[in-house]
Amino acid sequence: AQRVTQPEKLLSVFKGAPVELKCNYSYSGSPELFWYVQYSRQRLQLLLRHISRESIKGFTADLNKGETSFHLKKPFAQEEDSAMYYCALSQGGKLIFGQGTELSVKP
Amino acid sequence: NAGVTQTPKFQVLKTGQSMTLQCAQDMNHNSMYWYRQDPGMGLRLIYYSASEGTTDKGEVPNGYNVSRLNKREFSLRLESAAPSQTSVYFCASSEAMGFKETQYFGPGTRLLVL
């Protein structure tokens, strides 16, 4: 069955430290993967997607088909990065979300 | 543009009561979705509408019905609310239903069923 797993419920780092939010998936086929973010009191919004291969707000994510992973990385965390992050897999347009990881960046 | 709007923002129901959650989008999108968000479970798809006039079940459809009223509006109905339906409900829309489409989310409706 298709599934997305985010093993960390909460990730706490200090400002300036590197960040890696883990995402593993199970999918038979070529996956389309996304990272969505929900800042406090804001709606869920797209952060980045695999197909675009872009860097948004300093975040990048690389698809590793061998390890079935799509980890989100940022070399230097900022306080404004504190938010809930969801990894999602597109199944014909229907999104399958992971459980979410709350990132807390401390000053 | 308001994007995706949802009403109400918050609702308290008693077990057995019914209610309809409203969703509208002004982006001329063809596809619309309803999700529920529960702690530790992420978002799960309840129902979706690939285009006006069509609706289909998602992962967790039991206890819900939907209506795609027109291209803009997609409502979610709870006929007989149960405490297990206490959740935050999100509506979303996308231009079309495809692997690469970005979904745009509403602000959510927080529902408490007593």
Give the one of B4, B43, B45 whose C-beta lies nearest to A86's C-beta. B43
Q: Which two tokens stand for residue B74?
A: 């997609």
Verify whether the Cβ–Cβ distance B102 to A49 is below 8 Å.
yes
pLDDT digits (tens, 9 = 90+) for A53-85: 777 899 999 889 899 999 999 999 999 999 999
CA dist A26 and A11 (Å) reads 23
Around Cβ B110, how many Cβ atoms within 10 Å? 15
Task: Flag whether residue A41 sits within 8 Å of chain B, measured between CB atoms.
Answer: no
Residue in B with minimal Cα distance to A95: B45
Instruction: Provide, as residue numbers in chain B, all residues whose Cβ is less than 8 Å from the Cβ of A40.
Output: none
pLDDT of residue B79: 93
Asked whether A16 and A107 are in contact (CB, 8 A), the reply is: no
Asked whether B23 and B74 are in contact (CB, 8 A), the reply is: yes
Asked whether A92 and B99 are in contact (CB, 8 A), the reply is: yes
pLDDT digits (tens, 9 = 90+) for A31-40: 889 999 999 9
Asked whether A83 and A38 are in contact (CB, 8 A), the reply is: yes
Going by pLDDT thresholds of 50, 70 and 90, the confidence category of residue A52 is: confident
CA B4 to each of CA B1, B12, B91: distance values in angstroms, whole numbers, following the listed order: 9, 22, 7
Instruction: Provide, as residue numbers in chain B, all residues whose Cβ is less than 8 Å from the Cβ of A97.
Output: 35, 42-44
Around Cβ A76, how many Cβ atoms within 10 Å? 11
Instruction: Provide, as residue numbers in chain B, all residues whose Cβ is less than 8 Å from the Cβ of A43.
Output: 4, 90, 105-108
pLDDT of chain B, 114 residues: tens digit per residue:
789 999 999 999 999 999 999 999 999 999 999 999 998 889 999 999 999 999 999 999 999 999 998 999 999 999 999 999 999 999 999 998 887 888 999 999 999 999
Task: Flag whether residue B19 sits within 8 Å of chain A, measured between CB atoms.
Answer: no
